Chains A and B, each alone.
Chain A
Amino acid sequence: MTIRSNAAPLSDAQSSAEALNVLLLACATGNRLAFEAMYHATSSRLFGICLHYSGNRAEAEEVLQEVYIMAWLKAPRFDPQLASAMTWLATIARNKAIDRRRAHRPHAPLETIPELPTQDDSIPDSLEREQQGSQLDRCLETLEEAQQRYIRVAFFEGCSYAELAERHGIALGTMKSWIRRGLLRLRLCLGL
């Protein structure tokens, strides 16, 4: 008897997202096996995020530890009706990495800022990408060029308004105006 594959690759993103939700909900009940499974399933992506915003492997590993410690402690507050587990975890990772960099190296030189991914870069197994398509990118394209540019730069550099203005040699008021106007237009376009 030959066994044929009955894998259903089209539903992988959806079922992975659901499985991660299951794992995170299990963490909320103190299930350490679920916590370890979740670590193995997500740590490469979260470490990638930590590395991008830290720019340094040692710092990124410290941040990654803090991310999982916080995820374990805050898991009871995770609500799968509101967010996917991957988004929830990725957001913690980004915020932790940015907080740490700002606290430890408030004046990090420009060259330590990692490369921005280009819009052509894609990670095929990105859950959110498959679920939401590129609604954000489509909406971003409707903005003025400076608005588009500095919203992307702000996101991928993880900089405050003041840092952005200084790094890019643009008046603080102008930077705020571009980004705020852009965010308000994005909000309408995204229907938020």
Chain B
Amino acid sequence: MNEPPVPPDETPDLLIAEYVLGVLSREERERVEAMIALDPRHQRALVQWQAQFAEWLGQLPASTPPGGTWARIEQRLFADASHSPSRASGWWNNLGLWRWTTAALAAGLLASVLVLQQPLPAPTPGPALLARLEQPDGTTLFAATIHTDRRGVLFVNTQHADWSGKSAEAWIIPADGKPRSLGLLPANASATLNVTPLLADLLATGAVLAVTLEPLNGSPSGLPTGPVVAQGKISSL
């Protein structure tokens, strides 16, 4: 067989492409890593190739890892810590919260009317905020991150959920205990809910994000009526 000549293998750009493709031997890989570490141009080339091939990685089917995996990762990294902060519970897990919330609404009504009539300052960009919304059994249902300008909340769903016949509605519950709707979440998809300027300032450390099941198209009263499927406290990054 008449073989075409092999292109020279010492071109840095080619070596980086071969490295990302994964065809090099361990020794060659180590040599390329040393070369890349010394030159920011090579580092840029590396991440550009990785970004291109990441598209192919996105074609591989996702698969839920075994249930104990997260606990084993935590154990291996944080074995010294006696308590995982993520397991801490607080007043927001209290089942009485929602009854108290409803009672607090009437008392707070007049105050809120006064607040609404204040001129609204533009929300100031703050630190990145996020929350982990967990089901009553402790399973995380959403990871929520709040845009730095407070004008949107991203809900990343982490579990398959079946809400057939219901709508999942997201709420912000600030320190006054009154839930305000952030809008409806699509089933089994990440979504960004846009936040009005009025609500933006309520997205603060210590406030609670919650998701309830409501009639299709959302709570008719503007207040949560259905069961809380997940909730979590907002914390600063």
**Footprint of B on A, CB under 8 Å?**
1-9, 11-12, 15-16, 18-20, 22-23, 25-26, 29, 31-34, 36-41, 43-45, 47-49, 51-52, 57, 60-61, 64-65, 68-69, 72, 82-84, 86-88, 90-91, 93-95, 98, 102, 117, 121-123, 125-129, 132, 134-137, 151-152, 154-156, 158-162, 164, 171, 173-174, 176-177, 179-181, 183-184, 186-187, 190, 192
Contacts and interface: CB of A to CB of B under 8 A. Distances in A.
A102 to B, nearest CB: 7
Contacts of A39: 70, 73
A34 B219 CA distance: 30
Interface stretch (B97-105, B111-119, B186-194): B186-194
Contacts of A121: 59, 61
B47 A82 contact: yes
Contact of B51 (A38, A87, A171): A87
Contact of B192 (A8, A43, A128): A8
Contacts of A68: 73
A12 B193 CA distance: 10
A68 B69 CA distance: 10
B190 A125 contact: yes
B133 to A, nearest CB: 10
A22 B9 CA distance: 38
Main secondary structure of the interface of A (DSSP, over half): helix
A44 B64 contact: yes
Given A7-B192, A9-B191, A23-B145, 15 more contacts: A4-B218, A8-B191, A16-B156, A19-B145, A40-B132, A91-B50, A94-B57, A123-B58, A125-B190, A127-B58, A136-B56, A179-B18, A180-B7, A181-B4, A192-B13
Interface of B: 1, 3-7, 9, 13-14, 17-18, 21-26, 43-45, 47-66, 69-70, 72-73, 76-78, 84-86, 128, 130, 132, 140, 143, 145, 147, 152, 154, 156, 158, 167, 169, 181, 183-186, 189-194, 217-222, 235, 237
B18 A44 contact: no
Contact of A16 (B45, B54, B84, B190): B190
Contacts of A65: 69, 72-73, 76
A177 B4 contact: yes
The 7 closest A-B pairs by CB, nearest first: A126-B58, A37-B143, A3-B218, A40-B158, A5-B184, A47-B65, A7-B191
Contact of A33 (B57, B77, B78, B86): B86
A178 B120 CA distance: 64
B21 A72 contact: no
Nearest to B59: A117
Main secondary structure of the interface of B (DSSP, over half): mixed
Contacts of B156: 16, 19-20, 37, 40-41
A134 B64 CA distance: 26
B21 A183 contact: yes
A37 B130 contact: yes
B188 to A, nearest CB: 10
Contact of A192 (B26, B45, B63): B45
A38 B130 CA distance: 11
Given A7-B184, A22-B237, A61 B65 contact: yes
A98 B22 contact: yes
Contact of A4 (B84, B184, B235): B184
Nearest to A162: B25
Contacts of B128: 22, 25-26
A34 to B, nearest CB: 6
